[in-house]
Amino acid sequence: MRIFSLDDFVNNRIPGINHFREVLEEFEKGCVLPFLGKEVMGSFAYGSVNRGDCNVASDIDYFMIISDERHKERIKLAAQKAYGRFIDIQARVVHVDHARAGLHRIDDSFRQHLEFTVQKYGHRGKNPLDILSRGNVPLRRGLLNSMGIYLMKLNNGYCKAHTSESESLEFLRDIMEKLWHAMRVAVQHALGSVVRPGEDFEDTKEQLIRIFQTFRYSPDLMSDIDEIKNTAIEYTTLLKARQKGLVPKDRMFSLYNEMLKRIEGCYESAYHFIDKNSRIIAGI
């Protein structure tokens, strides 16, 4: 989930939902499709754009394995072009030698999520997951590692004296995103997968919530989910209103600053949810 700067909000640098697919196609034309089998071994998009449930606060998640470090310059230029249309592309780029040697941060927990994406939506060139070596980390250990990273990001973001707007926005983004990542990990821990046998898995937040609810954990965890979910809805609603010119000019600064404070106020819920699920997984 992207958290826009105050300047972006005031100047209405907010993308239209219909632009996401166009921007993804332009990105692939700029740094993927002409280079398959050469600088690019394989790639795929994953996340809300594939599922068709993106909103104005979405970004485009993209995974790519390259064989030439110089190709990163083309990726950077293509991402900058997308940003010119107000859409942020979060590219995970791994050199093929690093992929084969296990020098990457894709553990089995996240890999399982990516495998569902490739099975459902396909890939460009070779399947990057066929190239990506497994780290030989047991699933439970990988799940604990992931939870530890989420907790560390929230801890560090809270304790850090933010010296720039970009640092503050990144912290707010972690508050709004990490609970959903942790929920997927919690589901994996309970089921050994992110999908029940025979279930059609769409990987939507709504589906993850439905599965998580069946575990009958303490009600306060569901309250954490509701606060993050409802805040995200209010945030995207405000962005849509600004996009349509429905936010009064004399209230732009105050309304958006209030919304950013609401997001920051979700920190305790996000941290509590991840911490409690981490303790369940760790058995403490």
6-131, CATH topology level: Beta Polymerase; domain 2 (3.30.460)
Provide the greatest CA pair distance for the chain: 57
Query: In terms of C-beta density within 10 A (0-12 exposed, 13-18 middle, 19 or more buried), how is residue 158 classed?
Result: middle
How far apart CA 127 and CA 115 sit, in angstroms, is 10
Cβ(195)–Cβ(116) below 8 Å: yes
Phi, psi of 230 (to 5 degrees): -65, -35
| Domain ranges within the chain, ordered by starting residue | 6-131, 139-282
Give the pLDDT confidence score for residue 204 in this predicted structure. 84
Cβ(27)–Cβ(56) below 8 Å: no
* Long-range Cβ pairs for the range 215-218 (8 Å, 24+): 215/186, 215/190, 217/276, 217/280, 218/276
Nearest-CA neighbor of 274 among 282, 68, 45, 206? 282
In angstroms, what CA-CA distances link 268 with 63, 264, 281? Answer: 31, 9, 20
Give the pLDDT confidence score for residue 198 in this predicted structure. 56
Q: Is the dihedral of CA 175, 44, 90, 94 positive or negative?
A: positive
Give the pLDDT confidence score for residue 144 in this predicted structure. 93
Q: Is the dihedral of CA 187, 214, 266, 85 positive or negative?
A: positive
Give the pLDDT confidence score for residue 197 in this predicted structure. 54
pTM: 0.92
Q: Round to the nearest angstrom and report the end-to-end CA distance of the chain.
A: 31
The tens-digit pLDDT sequence of the chain (284 residues) is 999 999 999 999 999 999 999 999 999 999 999 999 999 999 999 999 988 889 999 999 999 999 999 999 999 999 999 999 999 999 999 999 999 999 988 888 888 889 989 998 999 999 999 999 987 778 888 899 999 999 999 999 999 999 999 999 999 999 999 999 999 999 999 988 766 555 677 778 898 899 999 998 889 999 999 999 999 999 999 999 999 999 999 999 999 999 999 999 999 999 999 999 999 999 98
Give the pLDDT confidence score for residue 195 in this predicted structure. 62
Give the pLDDT confidence score for residue 161 in this predicted structure. 94
